[in-house]
Structures are given as structure tokens and as C-alpha cells.
Amino acid sequence: MTNIPTELLRTLIAVVDLRSFTKAAHFLGVTQPAVSAQIKRLQILLGRELLDKSAPGVMLTATGELVVGYARRLLQINDQILHLAGPRAAVRTVRLGIPGDFASPALARMLAGFRTQRPDVCLEISNAPSERLLHDLRSGELDVIVALSETKSHPDARFQWTEELVWVRGASTRLDANGPVPLASCGESCTQQRVAVATLEKIGRSYRVVLTAPNLTEVASAVAAGLGVTALSRSRMVGTDLVVCDERALPKLPDVVCSIYAREDGDRDELESLADALAETFQPRHSSTPAALREVALAGAGSHSACA
């Protein structure tokens, strides 16, 4: 009788949840060729193609969809048996703090992959302004955070890079060159709004806050519908209906600094693995490596409020 090694099923689920062989390799602590070899071995054992090679990215075949469903159930039973057979591991909670515009399907997929590899970990997520997230990290109330800042460089960040900030609008929105800029945001504690307002005031351009919403998802939806404009990291525009405003209509915005921190005490391997996965998910591919960012200073350099 043929038995399917559970590590092959875990690899398949990691690839599917993270939609990337590279990210799956990162989570599993192996090389990308090793992940590819395990998927190939699983397909040989089953005698079926699980991934659709003709589709872009990671797409399952009809058989693959069935196998993944069964694999999740099988691994869940496997983990339950291990809990019964040995000493029950204490459930650990990892507290993650993020600005509102980092809440996305990409984050959800990344966290699903993290939980696949660490089933004894429970995740608790808080959205708050970056200053509050940093305070809560320093006081031990959060374990890993993503934070945005305007100019300051933080040498103790595990990862740090710059994000290009741009003005965005809905496809049908037209701005009055002589009228006040209709601004939508998450409020005065939002890094993006502070940068946007300071940039407008610097050139003497009038503005009017037409919408304040609790999170950037709602702001982006309102802006896409034509309610106004907002400042947003270019990398956060993926998958939205937003377009970049004409550079002649509004002043250029300065870049912002994105940093990822892990609490110094606690399970370092666990916290650093989560920080690494966040960087893999959100750090633009062209950014410098973490080591380089630690060596070179960047130029110029409450838990449910959902903006940076």
C-alpha cells in the first residue's frame, strides 16, 4: 500500500496558501528546488497533475483542489493525534500590529502559511497608528509590528525600506485646478494624511477633508467611487480600482519609511520567522537587503484604529 508522506502535503498547502514556491520555501526552511521536487514527487505518487502549468502563478487543477481539501483534513487529524500521543504543547499567542493599509488578502495568505508551519501558535492582530504600535512593542504588548514613519530611521528594525507615496483617485475623478483638494483619509493619526497635508500646505494649496474613515480599505473604496483623492503607497495599489493622479495636478509626495520590528525577548525564532514572512510579502523586490539598510541610514532620516 502506498503512503503519502505528510511533509509532501504540508509543502503543497504552503505553496497554495502563499501562492509562491519561493515563499513556501522560505516558510519551510528549504530551497525552492527542494519545494519543486516535493511537489513533483507528490504528483508522481498520485499519478495526477495538481498544479495547472498553463495558468499564471500558482493555480490548482480540479484534482489539485480535491487533494488540497483532503490534505488539510489529513494534516489536521495528524496534528490532533500528535497532541494526544505526547505532552500537550502550550498554545502560544503571537501579537501582530499593522497599519490599516497592510490588511490585505496577501497578508491573510501569509498568515495562513505561517500557521501551517506553526499550528500551536495563535495570532492576534491589532490595527493602530504606527506611533502607537511602536509604543506597544516597546512596552511588551505586541510581538511583531509593521510601522510607517515620515523621515526617521530606526536602527533596531529587522527590515526597513522606503515606500513611494502617490496621490490616487478614481478613474472618473477630475480635479479642479483652482479649487480645494478633496481629501479622504483615516484621520490625523494617519501617516499618509500627515504627509499629504504637509505637502499641500508647503505650496499653499487649499484642501478640504471630505471623508474620514476608520480604515484605509474604506477610504480606498470611497476614492475609487469618486469621492476625492488620498495618499497611498504605490505598492498598496495592486488589486484596487485606483489610478495615480497626474503629476501636474498635485505636488509630488515624499517617500515614507516602512519598518518591521520583532520584540527582543520571547521566542526569537518564532518572531523572526513571522517578521521575515511579512518582509517577503510586503517588501518591494527592488528594495535593499535588510543588512544593507541597517548599515546605511535612510536619506532624511489603541488597537483598532486602522491606519498608519
181-185/230-233 β-pairing = unpaired
92-98/144-149 β-pairing = parallel
Work out the number of other CB atoms within 10 angstroms of the CB of residue 69.
10
Mean of all residue pLDDT scores within the chain: 83
- Whether the per-residue pLDDT at 169 is higher than 50: the answer is yes
Task: Give the residue with greater pLDDT, 210 vs 236.
Answer: 210
Q: Average pLDDT in the 186-193 region? A: 80
Let me know: does 71 contact 6? Beta carbons within 8 Å: no
pLDDT for the residue numbered 101: 67
> Binning pLDDT at 50, 70 and 90, where does residue 301 land?
very low
Q: Which fold has domain 92-147+261-295?
A: D-Maltodextrin-Binding Protein; domain 2 (3.40.190)
| Neighbouring residues of 33: CB distance < 8 A, sequence distance ≥ 6 | none
Indicate the domain borders of the chain: 6-85, 92-147+261-295, 165-244
pLDDT digits (tens, 9 = 90+) for 122-141: 999 988 888 888 888 887 88
Q: How far apart are CA 163 and CA 257, in angstroms?
A: 6
pLDDT for the residue numbered 243: 92
Q: Average pLDDT in the 208-212 region? A: 92
This prediction has a pTM of 0.61
pLDDT for the residue numbered 303: 36
Measured N-to-C along each axis, helices 6-18 and 21-28 cross at an angle, to the nearest 10 degrees, of 130
- Whether the per-residue pLDDT at 302 is higher than 50: the answer is no
Helix, strand, coil percentages, rounded to 5, for the chain: 45, 20, 35
Let me know: does 49 contact 12? Beta carbons within 8 Å: no
Let me know: does 254 contact 165? Beta carbons within 8 Å: yes
Q: How far apart are CA 206 and CA 277, in angstroms?
A: 41
pLDDT digits (tens, 9 = 90+) for 213-259: 877 778 888 999 999 999 988 887 877 789 999 778 799 999 999 99
> Binning pLDDT at 50, 70 and 90, where does residue 85 land?
low
pLDDT digits (tens, 9 = 90+) for 46-75: 999 999 988 888 889 999 999 999 998 898
Count of CA atoms in the C-beta half-sphere (13 A) of 239: 9
Grid look-up 502607537 returns 132
Q: Average pLDDT in the 154-182 region? A: 89
**What is the Cα gyration radius of the chain?**
22
Q: Which phi and psi (to 5°) does residue 140 adopt?
A: 85, 10
pLDDT for the residue numbered 219: 87
pLDDT for the residue numbered 19: 84
Quickly count helices (H) and strands (E) in the chain. Answer: 10, 10
- Whether the per-residue pLDDT at 289 is higher than 50: the answer is no
pLDDT digits (tens, 9 = 90+) for 138-161: 878 899 999 988 866 667 899 999
pLDDT for the residue numbered 95: 94
Enter the C-alpha cell of residue 23: 515563499
Q: Which residue from 172, 150, 133 is spatially nearest to 258, judged by alpha carbons?
A: 150
Q: Average pLDDT in the 182-203 region? A: 87
pLDDT for the residue numbered 89: 54
| Domains 6-85 and 165-244 belong to one CATH topology | no
82-96, 138-152, 271-285: the lowest-pLDDT one: 82-96
Enter the C-alpha cell of residue 104: 490585505
Q: Which fold has domain 165-244?
A: D-Maltodextrin-Binding Protein; domain 2 (3.40.190)
Given the candidates 1.20.1250.20, 3.30.930.10, 3.40.50.150, 1.10.10.10, the CATH classification of the domain at 6-85 is 1.10.10.10
210 sits in which H/E element: strand 207-212
pLDDT for the residue numbered 29: 80
Percent of the chain topping pLDDT 70: 87
